[in-house]
Structure 1
Amino acid sequence: MGLERSEVLAKDLEWFRQQGHAIREPSTPGVSYTRYLEELSEKDPQAFICHFYNTYFAHSAGGRMIGRKVAEKILDKKELEFYKWDGDLSQLLQNVRDKLNKVAENWTRE
């Protein structure tokens, strides 16, 4: 589906480590946020999907622009893997929209 970003994120973290940067373990706020999202996905799937939609589309659109600027300014034009997508991004985004709409088609307005 093209949603999986952890593998490419791991590649970027490894690149940073090779550049001499320390990669720390997840912080307490990060772990708490992860738990919150896991609980939200079980207790309130509609809210979780809304959050997912906003975050996913922000990272795929605006995030790519930010990633390019960061690469130009401080990474010696190194394009991070997180901002690369397999396939046509517009089509991947449309596929995500279609799947989310399918999931939500039986939800009530409330």
Structure 2
Amino acid sequence: MEETIFDKIIAGQLPSDKVYEDENVLAFRDINPQAPVHVLVVPKKKVKDFIEIQHNDVTQTGIFFNTVSKVASLLGLEKGGYRIVLNCGEDGQQTVEYLHAHILGDRKMNWPPG
């Protein structure tokens, strides 16, 4: 897989506005926010997209999703709610070939989303 902007952020080669980091996951504010709170959560062990997650270690997948929930709580989004978005592939508007979750909050979301 080609190196992505997320690889460079995780490696410390590019700056980010980190909101959470541990040995498995990094969460940082999106540079083009679509809501008052817009944070990206990326696993440090690279997975290309949501399709590939089925081949990932289930423990690592669980840690990733558990951390997405934890970060949303750390951001204070539990009371009003929030949206988690996983874009997959070209039609799903995935712009970086690296699995990542968008946490969007602090405003009322619309439906349908697309």
Q: Give the TM bin, normalised by the shorter chain.
A: under 0.3
Bigger relative contact order (CA 8 A; separation at least 6) = 1
Bigger CA radius of gyration: 1
Q: State the TM-score, normalizing by the size of structure 2.
A: 0.24
As a proportion of its length, which structure holds more strand?
2
